[in-house]
Chains A and B, each alone.
Chain A
Amino acid sequence: MPPVIRRIARFFTAHVDGLLLSAILLLMATGLIVLYSASNAGMARITSQVMNMLVAITVMWVFANIPPHYLMRLSLPVYALGLALLIAVALFGDVVNGARRWLFIGVTRIQPSELMKIAVPLMLAWYFDRYEATLRLKNYLIAFVFLMVPVGLIARQPDLGTAVLISASGCFVLFLAGLSWRIIGGITVAGLSSLPFLWSILHDYQRQRVLTLLDPAQDPLGSGYHTIQSTIAVGSGGWLGKGWMNGTQTHLDFIPERTTDFIFAVYSEEFGLFGNLILLLLFLLVIARGMVITANAPTLFTRLLGGAVTLTFFTYVFVNMGMVSGILPVVGVPLPLISYGGTSLVTICLGLGILMSIETHKKLVQS
């Protein structure tokens, strides 16, 4: 190979983690196959999703090339910006479908809660890293405030799905940063006993979602409809599924949002338990690789950040699959790398790019 080409190849591959990338590409390919069936062989969606994927992979590559200590410097400004935008949303945001999530900034509308999915773990990891030598209970409390302020603002929009994802990512950081078991136990007990209070502050439609989860039949036209139909789709898939493009639930229009949040119902109906197992293993591969990268990460910042990214990825998968199979309430969480839609795809790939950066920059330091 001529040295120029080798150099170019190195430029592109130096900071890419091969194993992680392979798993990601396999998942994306699966996503396109399911999307083709879910959109009734509609090429428009496929084309647009391929474009989304190209953008997301580019973002991933860019972040894989940013050394972690640059990210560290950005943590506080990015968090502050995200918080400012969230407050702006609460004050002047546009209401779409009854939720105030979007902010109009001159040329386009943005959804600042998406930024917070990355900004919150960054901020917490930076904070714990900064006070690494002298961590006290006080620090955990402060970190908890950093977490709950944006979560509260997002839950108020209301955007329950994003609020769940962000609080999960924050809690993972707190846990990995060594929050003592006694406190975790205490919070669990307190959390369970405060459920009635939580219930009282939920929005009516959120309560409705929880109630329909317990008994989907009570609202078969409204929120229960999603759960009833997606459960039937999953269940009727059987061992091996009905075969690609043959899902009746899918192709007779029974599954709502079947290209986005409920795409797993389509997959599950057409590829069955066997397909589900493969998909779970693929996701597990990404998570396992993330865990290994995290375990070998050189600094507290990178360890916490890597752990949070990996576990948030897991949360996406679990909440989405749980919702489609009817064990979790319907909250708007997409299936990572599979669901149609550009925004979440970019956010997820950005996180995976950070994982690659942690891994590959460690190697550089050591060599």
Chain B
Amino acid sequence: MSELMINPGVELRNSQLEIHHFRWRLAVATSFVVLMFSLLFIRFFYLQVVKHEHYQTLAEANRISIVPIVPNRGIIVDRNGVVLAHNYSAYTLEITPGKVENLAALIDDLAALIEITPKDRRRFTKLTEESRNFESLPIRTRLSDEEIARFAANRYRFPGVEINARLFRQYPQGEMFSHVVGHIGRINQRDTEQLEADDRLANYRGTSYLGKTGLEHSYERYLHGTTGVEEVEVDSAGRAVRSLSRTPPVSGNNLVLKLDARLQEMVYRAFGDRRGALVAIEPETGGVLAFVSNPGFDPNLFVDGIDPQNWNELNTSLDRPMVNRALAGTYPPGSTFKPFMALAALSYGKRTPQQVISDPGHFNFGGHVFRDDKVGGHGLVDMFKSIVVSCDTYYYVLANDLGIDNISKFMAKFGFGSRTGIDITGESSGLLPSQEWKMRRFKQKWYSGETISIGIGQGYNAYTPLQMASATATLANDGLMFRPHIVNYVENITTRERTFVAPEPVRNLDLKPEHIEVIKRALVAVNKEGTGARAFAGAEYESAGKTGTAQVVAIKQGEKYVESRVQERHRDHALFIAYAPADKPKIALAVVVENSGFGARAAAPIARQVFDYYLLGKEPARPAKEDDSAAGN
């Protein structure tokens, strides 16, 4: 009846027919439902009655446990086979918090049997906060045989506590490689989500660690290996009785680096307690020979989960040891920028090598005075001399003539201001200023006065030591640029097959050989008669270099920078770029020593030691001392 009220236009008979049809369909649907439920019931009957004994056996008497077998993580060695990261096996005491009622009381009881320090407790508390309840978490690692025996005798008192043999990662070289090799750490919630998204989570069953930084992170897929599976029968208490089938794990691949551990160690020593970074590259491949960021930190602290005290110390230290200065620290290039500026001027035809300017010791532009470092100026200066004596005025004028757009276009080709694509993550792109950048960043137009200090590597621009090293290597290699890479090859340890991280030319800068020749000649002269001469006095090979000093704080107009008056952390950074041998470069580097004043004094002697060691095998007799008499920038 309601039909009529709601739909008065529809004929009654027709409507009844419709309802009849509808109910017929509904009956069909209902039969379908009953049929499907019967199907389910048949399935249940099959599983629970027909095959009950089979499943009963699997579940009750002999529960099958599928146990993942964690693969050995690949090891990391330097070019000569010196081990940088490896594994050792140790027994750990582990608690599954979800199976324990009173955690604190349990740990107190355990501590009566096995030594548990307050530090262990704090670390464990931090772990429980970060993990899910049913995970087995280590409270003590590296148990002695005696401790294992003592616990085994008392095991029945501690449900939810187990002793497990686990593989631990160790970094025998400690701090020295902390910023290259990186470290592993416990898999956290975010890692789990990422692994799940990449469909790799199953392969991490049973694994509680993965690479967090450095090569451990970027080569995770190679290092981890493939998890094996063992089907074991376990008794009602969950103890394994026998193995049913076993798919062995496949160990992770080893990494063999381009890096030279002894060179790295030498550089590390040369820095001493000074902060800074050095990157050395093989120009003809892009292989990274040394990669130091000082200070480092002990990566072994992170392996079992870092305790809060150490964590705070690392994070609050004024020296910022967790910052990878070589990769993510950005510094104004200072005068090390000049050879690239000169090359830009040659390429754009704004200068010839012979063109001479007269340097009165300053450059006036728009009512602003740009000082040269040498009071009274360098007199008549051509391009060669401008590099050898590091004349500022020459580059003030040159930058003004080139203009910011030409400068940024040219420097971009050398990789300034963009990531090099090195095979570790966390790289900073640095900052290559341009008109477009300034508009985007500050919503302001570029003032041509700002171009002038760019000419001597000051102002807005800031690059990573890695970028500077890569640019130097590209210059040394006559403009053929390779992607820097730390790993030489990945080695499959079962098949011994090696996958090389092949030298990858990024681009050819198409520079004119005669232009490069001018610059290179000047750079050689720097180390012979110029600002780098003292550091390279008596060298048995010919090298090329350029010193630089980067201002940390701006100095007021007309004021002179006097080191002793400036706070230590506001002092200038010392920079040096170099390559050797000059005719056929085998190594190119960039070094930054923070707050150490002139590049010639603090940075160049380190470069000298690196070359002496790498080219001649000469160990330094003493740490690279600051050369106090050296002047110039």
Interface residues of A (CB under 8 A from B): 40, 69, 95-98, 132-133, 172, 175-176, 178, 204-205, 219-223, 225, 228, 231-239, 242, 248-249, 252-254, 268-269, 272-273, 276-277, 280, 283-284, 287-288, 291, 294-295, 298-300, 303, 307, 311, 314, 318, 321-322, 325-327, 362, 365-366
Option from B25, B66, B193, B197 in Cβ contact (under 8 Å) with A225: B66
Nearest chain-A residue to B96 (Cβ)? A253
Chain A residues within an 8 Å CB radius of B98: 40
Task: Give min CB distance, A279 to chain B, whole Å.
Answer: 10
Contact B40–A236 (Cβ < 8 Å): no
Interface residues of B (CB under 8 A from A): 1-3, 5-7, 9-10, 18, 21-23, 25-26, 29-30, 33-34, 36-37, 39-41, 43-45, 47-49, 51-52, 54-56, 58-60, 63-66, 68, 98, 134, 193, 196-197, 199, 201-203, 205, 227, 229, 231, 236, 238
Main secondary structure of the interface of A (DSSP, over half): helix
Whole-angstrom CA separation of A248 from B58 in the bound complex? 11
Given A221-B66, A236-B60, check contact A287 B48 (CB 8 Å). no
Contact B30–A291 (Cβ < 8 Å): yes
Option from B23, B40, B59, B205 in Cβ contact (under 8 Å) with A248: B59
Task: Give min CB distance, A109 to chain B, whole Å.
Answer: 15
Chain A residues within an 8 Å CB radius of B202: 219, 221-223
Task: Give min CB distance, B56 to chain A, whole Å.
Answer: 5
Contact B22–A172 (Cβ < 8 Å): no
Contact B2–A235 (Cβ < 8 Å): no
Whole-angstrom CA separation of A269 from B48 in the bound complex? 9
Contact B25–A178 (Cβ < 8 Å): yes
Nearest chain-A residue to B6 (Cβ)? A299
Task: Give min CB distance, B135 to chain A, whole Å.
Answer: 11
Given A236-B56, A236-B58, A287-B33, check contact A95 B197 (CB 8 Å). yes
Contact B41–A277 (Cβ < 8 Å): yes
Task: Give min CB distance, A251 to chain B, whole Å.
Answer: 10
Chain B residues within an 8 Å CB radius of A98: 196-197, 199
Chain A residues within an 8 Å CB radius of B29: 172, 175-176, 291, 307, 311
Task: Give min CB distance, A98 to chain B, whole Å.
Answer: 4
Chain B residues within an 8 Å CB radius of A276: 41, 44, 48
Whole-angstrom CA separation of A238 from B46 in the bound complex? 10
Nearest chain-B residue to A97 (Cβ)? B196
| Between-chain CB contacts (< 8 Å), 26 pairs | A98-B196, A133-B9, A172-B29, A176-B26, A178-B21, A204-B199, A220-B66, A221-B202, A221-B203, A228-B66, A232-B55, A234-B44, A234-B55, A235-B48, A235-B58, A239-B48, A272-B48, A284-B33, A288-B30, A291-B30, A299-B7, A300-B18, A314-B36, A321-B40, A327-B39, A365-B5
Whole-angstrom CA separation of A268 from B48 in the bound complex? 9
Chain A residues within an 8 Å CB radius of B58: 232, 235-236
Nearest chain-A residue to B47 (Cβ)? A235
Chain B residues within an 8 Å CB radius of A133: 9-10
Whole-angstrom CA separation of A318 from B23 in the bound complex? 23
Given A235-B51, A238-B48, A252-B63, 10 additional A-B pairs, CB 8 A: A40-B98, A132-B7, A221-B66, A239-B48, A249-B59, A269-B59, A295-B22, A322-B40, A325-B40, A327-B43
Option from A175, A223, A233, A314 in Cβ contact (under 8 Å) with B25: A175
Option from B5, B23, B52 in Cβ contact (under 8 Å) with A295: B23
Chain A residues within an 8 Å CB radius of B6: 69, 298-299
Residue among B18, B25, B33, B39 with the most chain A CB within 10 A?
B33
Chain A residues within an 8 Å CB radius of B203: 221
The 4 closest A-B pairs by CB, nearest first: A235-B55, A236-B59, A222-B202, A98-B197
Contact A366–B1 (Cβ < 8 Å): yes
Whole-angstrom CA separation of A225 from B205 in the bound complex? 12
Contact B48–A318 (Cβ < 8 Å): no
Whole-angstrom CA separation of A252 from B44 in the bound complex? 22
Contact A234–B47 (Cβ < 8 Å): yes
Whole-angstrom CA separation of A365 from B1 in the bound complex? 9
Chain A residues within an 8 Å CB radius of B34: 284
Task: Give min CB distance, B221 to chain A, whole Å.
Answer: 17
